[in-house]
Amino acid sequence: MNCHERTAIALNLGIPDRVPVFSCTEEQNQIYEILGEKDQAVALSLVQEGWTGKLFKLAAPLANSIGWFNRETEKFMSKKLEADIALGYDCSWLMYSAIFKLKGNRQATDIWGKLYDLVADPDGNVDTPMYRQGLLTTPELWEAWHHPDPDRFYKTLYRVFADLQKRYGGRIYLMGSLFSGLWESASQVMGLTAFSVTLRRNPDFVRRMVKYYETIYLATIHATADAGMPAFVYSDDMGHKIGPQTSPRVLDEFFGPSLRRITEEAHKRGIKIIIHSCGNVNQLLDLFADWGFDGVHSLEPTADIDLAAVKKQLGKRMCIFGNLDISHVLSQGTRDEVEAAVKTALQAAAQDGGFIMAMTNSHNAVKVENTRWMIEYTHRYGVYPVT
Amino acid sequence: MNEHEAIQGVLETVVNLDIDGVAGQVRAALTAGADPRAVLSEGLSAGMRIVGERFQSGEYFLTDLVLAGEVMKAGLVPLEPLLTRTDIQGKGTVVLATVKGDIHDIGKNLVGMMLRAAGFEVIDLGADVAPQRIVEAVRKHQVKIVALSVLLTPMVASLRAAIGEITKAGLRDQVKIIIGGACTTPRLAKEMGCDAHGADAMAAVYLCEKFF
């Protein structure tokens, strides 16, 4: 079987030849290490300190006007896929995140209305910008923001996805994705405090916000399908360490209808759609299935999620992706620990198919060596029948 | 409406997260003759404690806790001019920070909010705080508790550095160190030589009350 067949069977809750392995790696340090191109990474100190920092700060408006940062981000998407193919992944989460504008040399904003800090990875190189706060803290500010037009957004995404599908889609099963789901978009552009107050005082506005983000997501689904990609990862961190960030009732009332329309559209277009959500999402699992998602990813063990219990609860409705720990096993763990974790995950969720091995998230502390072990042991122990 | 009923009304307004009703309810309590300190402790703070307990039990969620903080702030507006600083923050002083290299602050802010609601003075140093700043704050404010937040696994080293600096400054015996955040566990707290691990914002309040 090839990676496409294997992944498609697992997504359809069937039993392939072996358990597929899913890449969610987005970190520069790891991708450049895999490709032997560590010299390509850009040191944050170059961007922020000394005369180069001053130059960068002055040039930021020009860089924004020519879309430099986003073009580099799009190029990096190719590097990510080359690295995934080199490591032997079957399927890859390909997140479109060319959505930033530099704000000097220390911060960036995005097209949705969020502010980020430019931060470094452990090697001191530029890492994914880190969310700092929302800029649209009132309904008035949100209404006044120049929101992306869904039609233009479709065209940009289609261009990028079609190109990557053409160049890499034959060698790895691609799953398109977009930075920030409906919940993250709504709560983060306002900031959690302003959002929580607005949810109480002006729920109709929240519904209007969510409806707009739905139009963007529908455009994204169409771009993914038209580009020929077979699946989509809907990324939306609804959990935190001990539970959902808001009540399941609120999520279902305000976001559920839009999510149902998004998954319906994905299915009409013939693509599978997986939900990624960090944190303790135990209370949301049935909702994920009710909303129409075909698979669920992250399932962090450090957020009190039991993979076997999830498999039992959802295994007949959704493909389970997970759930190798990044806080220790894949960042500091020994070879034996990675082997044990892979075996545990396989035992918990793989035996009757509908399972795809994955680490819980992308993180710059994860070691490439440990990632290789994860893939190696999945190839070794994940051949069906898995015992 | 008598004073007791009016204060009970303030408590219920907080528990019900009624951000638009709380200031009016506080004024009604004051008009009914309630002592401002009683309105604060038995109305606002008591209401916040119930909110914290409901969050711990899973009935309330993060957005509810955050909203409750705003309800408390709105309730304090008519009350603060009538209170002294000791009335509001007399239980003790806590230094609060997210460690160097980590800019996440939602959890830290919630801890700060719950501690203030419980009557503590909070010296919030913000996020991405260098160890030396924590030491300076401990010295300056003569605090007994340092609460450190860390979300990201790679920043555990910063936590170690902060504790190291406190120890090097000869202040370790003076303070209790509590840690919290997504990547923290009771085991990590023990490994780091901390005094406690707080699983959530309400747990932080209980720990501070215990240590004071």
| CA–CA min distance B180, chain A (Å) | 11
Q: What is the pLDDT of residue B170?
A: 94
Answer with the one of B41, B57, B83 that is the final residue of a domain. Answer: B83
Alpha-carbon gap, residue B174 to A128, rounded angstroms: 39
The pLDDT value recorded for residue B91 is 85
Rounded mean pLDDT, A323-352: 96
Q: What is the pTM of this model?
A: 0.92
Query: Could you tell me if A320 and A309 are in contact, meaning their C-beta atoms sit under 8 angstroms apart?
Result: no
pLDDT at site A258:
98
Based on the domain organization, do B79 and B94 belong to the same domain? Answer: no
pLDDT of residue B155: 79
What is the ipTM for the molecules in this complex? 0.92
Looking at the DSSP assignment, which residues form a beta bridge with residue B167? none
Same domain membership, residue B92 and residue B22:
no
Over residues A178-189, mean pLDDT: 95
Whether A130 sits inside 8 A of B199 (CB atoms) is no
Contacting residues of A for B102, CB less than 8 Å apart: none
Tally of domains in chain A:
1
Reported as a single tens digit per residue, the pLDDT across A235-282 is 999 998 889 999 999 999 999 999 999 999 999 999 999 999 999 999
Position A282 in a domain = yes
Confidence category of residue A43, pLDDT binned at 50, 70, 90? confident
Please indicate, yes or no, if residue A320 is contained in any of the structural domains.
yes
Could you tell me if B180 and B124 lie in one domain? Answer: yes
Q: What is the CATH number of the domain that holds B63?
A: 1.10.1240.10
**Is A386 part of a structural domain of the chain?**
no
DSSP sequence for B25-85? HHHHHHHTT--HHHIIIIIIIHHHHHHHHHHHHTSS-HHHHHHHHHHHHHHHTTTGGGS-H
Report the distance separating Cα A103 and Cα B140, nearest Å: 35
Q: Percentage of chain A with pLDDT > 70?
A: 100
Where residue B18 falls among pLDDT bands split at 50, 70, 90? Answer: very high
Return phi, psi of residue B32, to 5°. -75, -5
Q: Which segments of A88-149 does DSSP mark as H helices, in order?
A: 139-144
The CATH number of the domain where A85 resides is what? 3.20.20.210
**Which of B83, B100, B116 is at the close of a domain?**
B83
Structure tokens at B54: 């409901």
Q: Within an 8 Å CB–CB cutoff, is residue B35 touching chain A?
A: no
Best B67, B152, B200 residue to mutate vs chain A (most A CBs within 10 Å): B67
Q: Is the pLDDT of residue B87 over 90?
A: no
pLDDT at A387: 83
Name the band, by pLDDT with cuts 50, 70 and 90, for residue A39. confident
B67 contacts chain A (CB < 8 A): yes
Same domain, B180 and B75: no
For A211, the domain range is 3-381
Least confident of A217-221, B89-93, B205-209: B89-93
Structure tokens that stand for A240 in this block:
């935190």
Q: Which of B83, B116, B138 is the last residue of a domain?
A: B83
CB A222 within 8 A of CB A232: no
Are residue B120 and residue B189 in the same domain, yes or no? yes
Residue A221 has a pLDDT of: 97
Q: Are residues B78 and B107 in the same domain?
A: no
Residues A83-94 have a mean pLDDT of 97
pLDDT at B212: 81
**What is the percentage of chain B residues whose pLDDT exceeds 90?**
70
Residue A293 reports pLDDT greater than 80: yes
pLDDT tens digit sequence for A44-60: 998 899 999 999 999 99
What range does the domain containing B101 cover? 88-211
Angle, in degrees to the nearest 10, between helices B201-211 and B106-117: 50
**pLDDT tens-digit profile of B133-168?**
999 999 999 999 999 998 877 678 889 999 999 999
Q: What is the pLDDT of residue A241?
A: 85
CA distance A108 to A272: 33
Q: What is the pLDDT of residue B152?
A: 73
Which residues of chain B are within 8 Å of residue A122 when distances are taken between CB atoms?
154
**Phi then psi for A209, rounded to 5 degrees?**
-60, -50
Per-chain mean pLDDT for chain B: 91
d(CA A162, CA A138): 37
| A242: contact with B, CB 8 A cutoff | yes
**Sequence-separated (6 or more) residues with CB below 8 Å from residue B38:** B3, B7
Kindly state whether residues B108 and B179 are assigned to the same domain.
yes
B92 and B79 housed in the same domain: no
Q: How many domains does chain B have?
A: 2
Q: How far apart, in whole angstroms, are the C-alpha atoms of residue B113 and residue A329?
A: 34
Average pLDDT (B27-33) is: 95
| Beta bridge partners of residue A174, listed in sequence order | A92
Mean pLDDT score across all residues of chain A: 95
pLDDT at B200: 87
User: Would you call B70 and A130 a contact, using CB atoms and an 8 Å cutoff?
Assistant: no
Given this model, what pLDDT does residue B64 score? 95
Q: What is the CATH number of the domain that holds B191?
A: 3.40.50.280
Whether residue B119 is found in the same domain as residue B198: yes
Phi, psi (5° rounding) for residue A177?
-165, 165
SS3 B123: strand
pLDDT tens, A98-155?
Answer: 899 999 999 999 999 999 999 888 888 888 888 999 999 999 999 999 999 999 999 9
